Structure 1
């Protein structure tokens, strides 16, 4: 009996040590994080526009939130500039990496609108994002916010320029074996990297990012490239990357035809700078004109800097894509991309936001 109890005690101790270690690993593992600071496979945020009327309490910092553990949008009780917001918690890992001078972790921050600068760089892709990874895993944040995020030295903040309009973004946790593919996709997108650190330990597998980080690249850039990526928990994503030599509307000329679905698109509609809905090809593109948050609350696409699209209701494949290009004549000449998947919860969440769209003609 004594022997049995000792064996059981040892097993329990081993289990506790294992779970204790697992807890430490969990805390040390780079991942997208929810508002509780817990690792999630992916999350999506939709920052709502600042309401223009005087009575409104909307500050332009409220956001909707969805992740791999919940079924539909929840309106966050936190503001997006809070360090406890999903973005704040996730980016905290970047600021800690920088503070501890961690030589086993790499990061790349890119944006055509660099924080604290006045203009936008047209020599690079119209693409915005952040990567943080080690040899186990990391995350990729793709977003639409100009001048975001701050450089690692400065810690988390949200720019005042990102308040007025709606903004969108997706964070996905990836195992390290996906980074070689991400590396090639970013070459096509030609990002404007404004802060980066890629220690030598990664240079064998990752060819383009270290060069882009150093401000040079020698590779021939493909006109466009489509690839499949898998999140840490096995969710499939398609990533479309177009270079600036693909002179066409990414939605109509490529994505809709490739996905074989009519698409409803929500991108920034600036007056006299928008492409009309397009039904000239087998699969059509319809511009969303207004977004509804609730029965009483909606906003126009003119107030929305978010960039996403979904399959039209009634089509058999339910695609949702989030990225960084607008439907505008100028953006046909810019590089950038979209990440798409067929998760039902994501599709339903975005489907419910569509108030109405514009038909062709």
Structure 2
């Protein structure tokens, strides 16, 4: 796949525009520059015969409804409720083990994620399969079993959210590779089930929830791991994100300084993430801008200030990212786990823009 880098932006920095390392940045993208997420996703397909599968779901603000697209849907969005979709994917699957991680742990949890990665997910496994849910919902789930998964908490329902579910074959060292990504970014694992006979296969221990995962061997960051044809995962640790420019400490923008410069993802990205926090977000840069408005299929547009989801689409290539990374300066120094979903590109994009 040949990627083309976007040219340097020549827009002047508007009043009130944000800066990074003393450099003025152009304004964020206008509402007219909304993402082509639907079209990009509908143009993606896994390679023939692959045993991996993906499913992407988006939840609008103040709603429990989802719009869902999976690799077997033929490019058609489906609608369902968030709890029904999550239960269908995660319950009664015969998992022998699982772990939940979140930087905002549920109420009542003995663990605190404030000094861990800004990462949220559920990893489950059985003899022949791995299920990996990467999501944006804080303080969820409080617990999980093969038969029970609690509904989203109120804060998760209030804002827009994103979900990505991966179904992977448990073959070779796939489980270890996934666990190494979670270990590299230093996720806060707060609950789960790990059988004694499986402790050799995973780094999680039931008596060590809320502790930093040990690294018995060196892990390189950022780490790009292929999970199947056209499916990658990119992780970093807390060391990545700080650099010195002209003698001044500078926070790196993971999307601009990492994603957009990592083969095969070079080029320009439209990014959706939560920019409402106290830490200044990055503005428009050479290879990235921020989405300001979203229109889901058959839905009214809403401003991204109401959306806690984290996803991005490439301007020119059929590449999609779904993860848990905000485009803010605090996230520059946290271990983060975005999923890079260049999930094949064997079909042209056929859908209208979101």
TM-score (norm 1): 0.70
Cα RMSD of the aligned pairs, angstroms, is 2.9
Structure with greater Cα Rg: 1
8 Å Cα contact 1:44/1:67 also seen in 2: yes
SS at structure 2 position matched to 1:163: helix
| Pairing of 1:169-208 with structure 2 (within 5 A) | 169-177=163-171, 178-206=174-202, 208=203
- The answer to whether the Cα contact below 8 Å between 1:190 and 1:335 also exists between their aligned partners in 2 is yes
Higher helix proportion (structure 1 or 2): 1
**Pairwise CA distance, 1:348:** 4.4
**Secondary structure of 1:188 counterpart:** helix
Q: Cα distance 1:347–1:49, how it changes in 2: closer, same or farther (>3 A)?
A: farther
Match in the other structure for 1:308: 311
Alpha-carbon offset, residue 117 of structure 1: 4.9
Distance in structure 1 (CA, Å) of the matches to 2:214 and 2:253: 27
Q: 2: distance between equivalents of 1:218 and 1:240?
A: 20
Which residue of 2 is the match for residue 267 of structure 1?
273
- What is the DSSP-based 3-state SS (H/G/I as helix, E as strand, rest coil) of the residue aligned with 2:116? coil
- Cα displacement (A) at 1:75: 4.4
Q: What is the alpha-carbon distance in structure 1 between the residues aligned to residue 149 and residue 222 of structure 2?
A: 35
1:285 aligns with 2:283: no
Residue 135 (structure 1) aligned with residue 131 (structure 2): no
Q: Is the 8 A contact 1:193 1:212 kept in 2?
A: no
1:109 to 100, 103, 123: 100
Q: What's the secondary structure of 1:336's corresponding residue?
A: coil
Match status 1:237 vs 2:192: no
Report the CA distance shift for 1:298/1:72 in structure 2 as closer, same or farther (over 3 A). farther
Distance 1:203-1:107 versus aligned 2 partners, 3 A rule? same
Match of 1:144 among 136, 160, 164: 136
Question: Quick one: distance in 1 between partners of 2:128 and 2:308?
Answer: 34
Structure 1: gaps spanning 5 or more residues: 1-38, 51-59, 98-104, 354-361
Shift of 1:156: 2.9
The one of the two structures with greater contact order (alpha-carbon pairs below 8 A, sep at least 6) is 2
From 152, 161, 166, give the equivalent of 1:158. Answer: 152
TM superposition shift of 1:262:
0.9
Q: TM-score, normalised by structure 2?
A: 0.72
